[in-house]
Structure 1
Amino acid sequence: MFNSKLMNAFPKEYSEEVKFILNKLPLKALKTQISNSFKVSINHEEIYIPERIYFREISKKLYDKFTPVQKTIIDCIYTRHENGFIREKYLYNLLKRGHCYYWITPFFVKLSGEYVIEILNLLKNYTSQLDDIFIRMFIEENKEFYNLVEQRIISYWNCYYRGEFPVKKQYVGFQLIAYYKYCLLQRTSASH
């Protein structure tokens, strides 16, 4: 059951790669290994990405044997891990590799709407590694999803970080919102 949940987290054109990876991941036959999913659209294909995964981390020795595309898929999967340190580690892998595929965009944007400030800072520090066009395309294709992420950024700031960052623009979440708005404006600027 959870294998199908992970299969649905990536475009169908990567099904064989995902299947191969799923046979290598430390999965157990428990329904609680993967939480509910959120829906996004990638080139008009519906993708269902888990909110959280609850299985242990893949070994480095095994991870190192995968191809770059397979590592990218694994990194995306582990950015949904219940442990924030593991999410941060695999996000870092993705950012270092670069924003080379449109389909990894929701994994970046979703992390923007989380409360772990270290993850938000990592994203902000690597916005130069993100593809502004992919970001713009994704937000335009997933307006409701993006609006929810933006609302979460505001809520987490208000709940956890308002005292530390009373001026909104000082909070990294609002800096990410500004970056996303910049990406959206690029189309407007380019068409004039």
Structure 2
Amino acid sequence: MKLPRDPSNVTHALVAAFPTRLVGDVQSVLAVMPETRLAPVMPFEVEVQGETVAIPSRIYNEEPGAGLERPLSGTQQMILHCLYSRHSDGRVRQRHLEQIVASGEPWVVPFVVQLAGEYVLEILEAIGRGLPGLAVPSSAQRRLYGGFIAQNPAFFARTERRVVSYWSCYYRWKYGAFGTYPGCILLEAFRDAVAEQVGAQWPRHTPPPLADAGEGPA
């Protein structure tokens, strides 16, 4: 469902994607973003450090010119990259993902995890490259992502199911075993991170890593 095109509603939709302490920074970012005739669509809610945020599934704004982006602070540039990681163009999403994936800010994490559940293979590979710490026990990235997933189990379960669906629809001809698909490799790393945080195995909503194209979720 698309939101009305009233600019105040569009502003509210994008401000709501971040913790309230960042409202001023988000408004500074929105001031340099070109307007669009299409409002953000289908927000999804997650919890970030005890606060609920609502992140749009897609935005349609053109990217601002480099001259407009330059005066933004480091935090504001990170916010801008987060928002454009939700862009309708997959190439735009990937460019901006690559600027945020290594961030240690908790409010960046849901933007990255959401992209892990999407269909662009190059984006999945970029996430894997940007999160090497997921393979390192007790690393900062493991704590960051494991903590987020522990707070948002339903969101992660939806992400798992999306990964399986896209593998099955678009990539199982290339990755006959689910475990070889980059999306599965990411999910396993996320699952290891949350298991380390909670001290127990995390529920699985995907086929086992060695499943072939004919097997369903365990």
TM-score by length of 2: 0.81
Q: For structure 2, which runs of at least 5 residues remain unmatched after alignment?
A: 1-8, 135-140, 201-218
CA contact (8 A) 2:118 2:163 kept: yes
Q: Is the radius of gyration larger for structure 1 or structure 2?
A: 2
- Which of 90, 95, 120 is residue 124 of structure 2 equivalent to? 120
| Higher helix proportion | 1
Which amino acid is 2:160 matched to? E
Superposition pairs of residues 100-179 of structure 1, within 5 angstroms: 100-128=104-132, 131-179=141-189
In structure 1, the partner of 2:35 is 27
Taking only the aligned residue pairs, the percentage that are identical comes to 30
Identify the residue that residue 10 of structure 1 maps to in structure 2. Answer: 18
Q: Which amino acid in the other structure matches residue 184 of structure 2?
A: F
Q: Residue 104 of structure 1: SS of its match in structure 2?
A: helix
SS in 2 for 1:33: coil
Residue of 80, 83, 93 corresponding to 1:87: 93
Contact residue 99 and residue 129 of structure 1 kept, 8 A = no
Residue 49 of structure 2 corresponds to residue 39 of structure 1: no
* Distance apart, 1:188 and its partner CA: 4.9
Q: Which runs of 5+ in 1 are unaligned?
A: none
Q: Deviations over 1:22-59 (max 9, x none)?
A: 1121124x3x2311201111122110000000110111
CA-CA distance at 1:65 after TM superposition: 2.1
2:90–2:120 contact (8 Å) kept in structure 1: yes
Q: Answer 1 or 2: higher relative contact order, Cα 8 Å, separation at least 6.
A: 1
Rounded to whole Å, the distance in 2 between the matches of 1:182 and 1:92 is 23
Deviation >4 Å, runs of 4+:
none
Count, aligned residues: 186
SS in 1 for 2:54: strand
